[in-house]
Amino acid sequence: RTLIVNVYAPPITGTTLEHTTAVNTDSRLGRTQLRVAILQEVRRIMEEQGRRWPGMVTIMGGDMNATLVRTDRGTEYRTDREYRQWVRDAGLTACGPLEDRAHTFYPSEERLAAGVSSGRIDDWLISREALGMEPRDEAGAGVIHMAHRSDHE
């Protein structure tokens, strides 16, 4: 069994959260509450489905508006650290190497002039158990090795 999840976790800073929500999105607190609620609900669904389907593999992709690796952008934010902890707690790991990751966000000229830098804020994640791996959020042993070497076993 495989659970495939697509997530959009809104940013905390700025005014990029354009859609209307049940919380006050005009405030930093409102955006923080919305982001936390989304990640909590994703985690709840993963846990619920994991109890229903033991051994289930989760594949998750999405725009997390946070970085999984410190080197994914020039500035580290609290949301980056919280996202990394959420990934570890959820039993997920990155698909692919963690070194020299291509950036997925490039700011407009106006935001670039204001000091906003590009970064890797989108990810594909998979259950660690599916790969027999420990949590990874630092560059290093970034090559995923499957538990077997051939699909002809």
Summarize the confidence of residues 11-16 as an average pLDDT: 59
The tens digit of pLDDT for each residue in 54-64 reads: 999 999 999 99
Residue 53's pLDDT is 94
- The pLDDT value given to residue 2: 93
Q: Using 50, 70 and 90 to split pLDDT, how confident is the model at 138?
A: low
Q: Which secondary structure element, helix H or strand E, spans residue 36, and what is its range?
A: helix 28-52
pLDDT of 118: 87
Q: For residue 90, which of 113, 112, 57, 66 has the smallest C-alpha distance?
A: 57
Token code pair at residue 4: 């495939």
User: What SS3 class is residue 125?
Assistant: strand
Does the structure show a pLDDT above 80 at 41?
yes
Indicate the length of the chain as a whole number: 153
DSSP letters spanning 51-106? HHSTT-EEEEEEE-SS-SSGGGBSS--HHHHHHHHHHHHTTEEESS-SSSPPP-B-
Q: Report the alpha-carbon distance of residue 44 to residue 148 in Å, rounded.
A: 31
Of the listed ranges 14-23, 68-77, 121-130, the one predicted with least confidence: 14-23
Dihedral sign, Cα of residue 121, residue 36, residue 7, residue 18 = negative
pLDDT on residue 135: 58
pLDDT digits (tens, 9 = 90+) for 80-105: 999 999 999 999 999 888 888 899 98
Q: What is the pTM of this model?
A: 0.75
